Amino acid sequence: METDSPIKAPATSDPRALRDALATFTTGVTIVTTRNTEGAPFGVTVNSFNSVSLDPPLVLWSLAKTSRSLEAFQRAEYWAVHILSAEQEALSTSFARPGENKFEGIELESGIQGTPLLPRCTTRLQCRTSFRYEGGDHIIFVGQIVAYDRSERAPLVFHGGKYAVATRKTPPLTLAPGTGAPIDPRFGEELLGYLLWRASQQFHLRMQPTLAARELTQEELLVLMPLFHNDGRSAPAFSSTLADLGLDAATSTIDRLAARGLIRIEPDTRRLFLTSRGRHEILQVFAMTKAIESECLSQLGDWDSVSLKNLLKLFILQTNPGLPHPWDAEDAVPQA
């Protein structure tokens, strides 16, 4: 019995349904920029961008006839297509809205004939207008690429009306090939709990030499890092938060750090503050941790690194039973 029957409908029967059908085609996200005859920058978010030809190098995109930017692009000889990186979702959203201050706060670069160029994109294509065509309720622009630059940044993707992150598809992976008898996948390396635990253990093993050199434990680090973000925590409330996260000996860990001069406990209020020495220690550990993270993620590449972090955040949000984030502290007060 077929369980995934396609929905069939005439193309003109329901515009919304047709839009949803077209949205199943995954696209990149671009911003196209130009200047009007007075020199003012204009830009719009576009996902209708497409390559047309390599010889000559032609690309096309379309703009609604109702767009406020239409006149500027119809008069422009040059325009630039910016293929956005995964970190530029907010920029895409900003340029998708009508408004006069889209470029405010952006350090623009200048392209051919002053065409405004946005920074930190995956690819930038500077184009000369070749043709303009009527296309229903849009105008189709065809341009010849006259200059371009690219980076290794992961691209921003749009699918089903939402932003997405692209990752390169790999063949099925096995963690321990050639181990002999097949392993029951229910209890083997396909078990999500095992994969999360193994990844966490391997990352923390990379951190151990750094912590040992600073004479710190993982438990002490779990106390110091939240205090770095929110000083002045109530010791009882903070201990309860850490206990919820699995650190049962939070009170003794706090006392140990205080005895070492890394934190200070106010006698009257029992509030916790990092000392200058404690702040120095956590900054040293943080710098080394970021170096280890960069080394690990460099082995994945930018595309998979963005996807990994995004998926882990999504998994945490969707499975969170109500655990607090250790850096969220309504009871924190600044140090006097």
Angle subtended at Cα 220 by Cα 219 and Cα 224, rounded to the nearest 5 degrees: 125
pLDDT at 245 (0 to 100): 77
Instruction: Decide if pLDDT at 209 tops 60.
Output: yes
The pLDDT value given to residue 330 = 60
In this predicted model, what pLDDT tens digit does every residue of 6-31 receive, in sequence order? 555 565 567 778 777 877 777 889 99
Beta bridge partners of 63: 139
Residues 145 and 130 sit within 8 Å (Cβ to Cβ): no
- Locate the domains of the chain by residue range: 15-165, 192-319
Instruction: Domain 192-319: give its CATH architecture.
Output: Orthogonal Bundle (1.10)
| 323, HSE (Cβ side, Cα atoms, 13 Å) | 14
pLDDT value for 2: 42
Residues belonging to the chain: 336
- The answer, yes or no, to whether residue 1 has pLDDT greater than 50, is no
- 304 Cβ contact partners less than 8 Å away, ≥ 6 residues apart: 167, 168
Taking residues 36-61, report their average pLDDT.
93
Same topology for domains 15-165 and 192-319, yes or no? Answer: no
Angle, helices 218-229 vs 235-244, to 10°: value is 120
Q: Does the pLDDT of residue 177 top 80, yes or no? A: no
Q: pLDDT tens, 73-90?
A: 999 999 999 999 989 999
- What's residue 247's pLDDT? 76
**Contact between 127 and 81 (Cβ < 8 Å):** yes
pLDDT above 80: residue 187: no
Nearest alpha carbon to residue 221 among 196, 245, 194: 245
- Judged against a pLDDT cut of 60, whether residue 315 lies above it is answered with yes
- Residues of the chain with pLDDT > 90, as a percent, come to 38
Higher pLDDT, 35 or 227: 35
Q: What is the mean pLDDT of the chain?
A: 85
- Rounded mean pLDDT, 137-143: 94
Contacts of 171 (CB under 8 A, 6+ apart): none
Q: Is the pLDDT of residue 152 over 90?
A: no
CATH architecture entry for 15-165: Roll (2.30)
pLDDT tens-digit series, residues 86-95: 899 999 999 9
Please say whether the beta carbons of 12 and 150 come within 8 A. no
- Is the pLDDT at 154 greater than 90? The verdict is no
Residue 219 has pLDDT above 50, yes or no: yes
